Amino acid sequence: MKLTGNTIFITGGGSGIGRGLAEALHKRGNAIIISGRRKGHLEEVCKANPGMSYVELDVEDTKSIASAAEKLIKDHPKLNVLINNAGIMQADDVAGVVEDALIVSTITTNLMGPMRMTSALIEHLKAQESSYVINVTSGLAFIPLAMAAVYSSTKAAMHSYSQSLRYKLRGTSVKCLELAPPWVKTELMGDNDDPRQMPLDEFIAETMQVLESDNHEILTERAKMLRNNAGPNEAAFVDQFNDMLAAPAKEGALSH
């Protein structure tokens, strides 16, 4: 992917991975538009990065998606990259009762949101000379985290959706990429200092390098451990992975 001269829209760009990608791509000379529900966060990011702009967006709300898409196409006619990054992650216990509100909000935000956002912009993207849909999934799309089963399920579904979207876009100007992060230090499940998390700046730097390749899947070295263990013999690794995360943290435990 050419990382300069694009007009890029990033959902969930007010913090975490979304903000990190927005700032890194902004520095490369791209026009960046971020979105989110927290206006204060969006204003803070844009103030820190002159030239960046934002639109308020609630990806759980179909009317908000339609309104944001209309504004984007009107105000940024050269828009050629959509990064579906917005997501939520909550702990659950599927061996017991899981609150319906958790199930609905997670699926609506993490799965239906990107599908609806892509649908709202895909015809505009097809009209561009070269364009991309980049879906941010997770290493948990391949090996689930049992304590966040609903979240992991939505990311597995987004992996499947990305494969179908990539196939259906053959012969168009649009390419579909999947960015599957490992465990990155963000506020996704609260702030903590677990050494098994990948520092955000390291993740962004490595991701930018991989984005410049022709790979359909954007994977850091840490994420490859999860991606490469999916398959017919994955059950034992799923147990090992979840046992490892349930144990006390050890420096570098998830670094390879």
pLDDT at 196: 83
Q: Mean pLDDT, the chain, as a whole number?
A: 93
What letter would DSSP give residue 133?
E
Q: What is the pTM of this model?
A: 0.93
Q: What is the sign, positive or negative, of the torsion defined by CA atoms of 190, 193, 196, 202?
A: positive
Contact 49, 26 (CB under 8 A): yes
According to DSSP, the residues that pair with 31 across neighbouring strands are 7
What does the pLDDT read at residue 192? 63
pLDDT (0 to 100) of residue 202: 96
Pick the CATH number of 7-246 from 3.10.105.10, 3.50.40.10, 3.40.50.300, 3.40.50.720: 3.40.50.720
Q: Write down the pLDDT at residue 237.
A: 92
Q: Is pLDDT at 253 greater than 60 in this prediction? A: no
Q: For the chain, first and last CA: distance in Å?
A: 26
pLDDT tens digits for 165-204?
Answer: 999 999 999 999 999 999 998 876 555 677 788 999 999 9
**pLDDT tens for residues 73-122?**
999 999 999 999 999 999 999 999 999 999 999 999 999 999 999 999 99
Q: Which distant-in-sequence residues (6+ apart) come within 8 Å of 131 by Cβ?
A: 80, 81, 125, 173, 174, 175
Catalytic residue numbers?
151
For the chain, domain boundaries? 7-246
- What is the Cα 51 distance to its own chain's centre? 23
Calpha distance 113→110 (Å, rounded): 6
Residue 41: closest CA among 67, 59, 63, 18: 18
H or E stretch covering 32: strand 31-36
If you ran DSSP here, which 8-state letter would residue 94 be given? T
Nearest-angstrom CA–CA distance, 128 and 180: 26
> Which token pair is 132?
């991309």
Angle (CA) 70-172-211 rounded to 5° is 85
Tokens of 254: 């998830």
Instruction: Tell me the pLDDT tens digit for each residue of 40-84.
Output: 999 999 999 999 999 999 999 999 999 999 999 999 999 999 999
Give tens-digit pLDDT for 138-169. Answer: 999 999 999 999 999 999 999 999 999 999 99
- DSSP classification of residue 123: H
- Judged by DSSP in three states, 173 sits in coil
pLDDT the model gives residue 255: 27
* pLDDT score at 191: 56
Two tokens, residue 33 = 């538009």
Closest CA to 79 of 21, 31, 118, 119: 31
In whole angstroms, give the CA distance from residue 124 to residue 112.
20
pLDDT band at 249 (very low <50, low <70, confident <90, very high): low
For residue 15, count other CB atoms closer than 10 A to its CB.
18
State the average pLDDT over residues 123-148. Answer: 97
- Sign of the C-alpha dihedral computed for residues 13, 4, 199 and 160 taken in this order: positive
Average pLDDT over residues 9-35: 97
With a cut of 60, say whether residue 208 has pLDDT above it: yes
